[in-house]
Structure 1
Amino acid sequence: MNLIVAVDKNWSIGNQGQLLVSIPEDKRLFREETLGKVIVMGRKTLESLPGKQPLYGRTNIVLTKNPDYKVKGAIVCHSFEEAMEELEKHDENDCFIIGGQSIYEQFLPHCHTAHVTYIDYLYSADTHFPNLDKDPEWEMTGESDEQTYFNLCYTFRLYQKKNTD
């Protein structure tokens, strides 16, 4: 299973229900990587999307504790276990965890690849992602040349879970 995330220097991912910044190349990469695939997100992440609607061209799985929650165009699961059962119907290489914080935390142990947009800036934030640079189970296996968007510098990083067998 994969995950895809944009983080700042503190591995922060959001503030007050919104992404920290919108970088066109990051959005393009996200679209490229996830189109035609399965994406898993929490309810708050879904509600932060344009029109609070599932993303087009993908199988959207939304995790919520609310038993009455329904959203057209998405599979709604009410537990981690239920979401994992749904994911078992798909090739794990086609599954992407897209947030938010609690969803990343629950699924990280089951992921083998992390696509990280690393933004060389510190934002005010209230949600975070585990720092993979400090996690002995993960290693960075690739990094793009430094990119810029106005005054922001960022890189696209690829992390792989180390073989722990």
Structure 2
Amino acid sequence: MLSIITAINQNYVIGRDNQLIWHIPEDLKRFKKITLGKTIVMGRKTFESLPKVLPDRKHIVVTRDENYSTSDNRVTVIHSIKDILKYKDSPEEVFIVGGEQIYKQLLPYCSKLYLTEIMSYENGDTYFPEFNKADYEIIEYEKHYDNYIKYNFLTLEKKFFRNNGL
């Protein structure tokens, strides 16, 4: 099963200058809790923005650069988004963690969205694709207010997947 995890604001902004805009410790803890022991999929720029390979997770990096490689055995480099689609029918939950183009290409195939919805209208240069929230059922909702930032943890499940047992 493919799932997405990301933090977005009310304008669907997810980043600026290849970095996260917000530093919310509880969001980072939630990301770790949800993705630990799982496979995470990201584009090359997202991978390069990480301070290091995240522990206890298998990394799949998608890039069109045929010469791109890494020596870390926890990282698999692939060159086609089609290679990720094999996970949509897998019992294992595989997480799409960014960036913009990867989200845009894989959103239609994801059954769950783990969102941190930040109550702000800050500008950025990287966006999550707009989607119809009516296509999803809220299965988790938590309000938070930390360090002058209001945010919500949302887990959304695509109604099509739930209603059809997929």
Fold match, TM over 0.5? yes
Deviates more, 1:60-69 or 1:120-129: 120-129
Could you tell me how far 1:63 is from its partner in structure 2?
A: 0.2
Partner AA of 1:108 in structure 2: L
Give a deviation string over 1:118-165, Cα, whole Å, max 9, x none: 000111211111234x34432333311x21121110010111111276
Rounded Cα–Cα distance in structure 2 between residues aligned with 1:60 and 1:111: 18
Structure 1 stretches lacking a partner, 5+ long: none
Could you tell me how far 1:117 is from its partner in structure 2?
A: 0.2
Tell me the equivalent position of 2:100: 101
Work out whether 1:156 is the aligned partner of 2:150: no
Verify the 8 A CA contact 1:2 1:93 in the aligned structure 2.
no
Q: For 1:163, what is the secondary structure of its paired residue?
A: helix
Deviates more, 1:2-11 or 1:75-84: 75-84
Matches for 1:3-152 after TM superposition, within 5 Å: 3-50=4-51, 53-71=52-70, 72=72, 73-85=74-86, 87=87, 91-132=90-131, 134-144=132-142, 146-152=143-149
Identity %: 36
Q: For 2:154, what is the secondary structure of its paired residue?
A: strand
Output the TM-score relative to the length of structure 1.
0.88
Q: For 2:140, what is the secondary structure of its paired residue?
A: strand
Verify the 8 A CA contact 2:85 2:109 in the aligned structure 1.
no
Output the TM-score relative to the length of structure 2.
0.88
Rounded Cα–Cα distance in structure 1 between residues aligned with 2:54 and 2:91: 19
Rounded Cα–Cα distance in structure 1 between residues aligned with 2:78 and 2:84: 6
Could you tell me how far 1:12 is from its partner in structure 2?
A: 0.8
Structure 2 stretches lacking a partner, 5+ long: none
Give a deviation string over 1:51-70, Cα, whole Å, max 9, x none: xx321101100000100101
**Runs of 4+ deviating beyond 3 Å:** 90-93
Rounded Cα–Cα distance in structure 1 between residues aligned with 2:121 and 2:49: 21
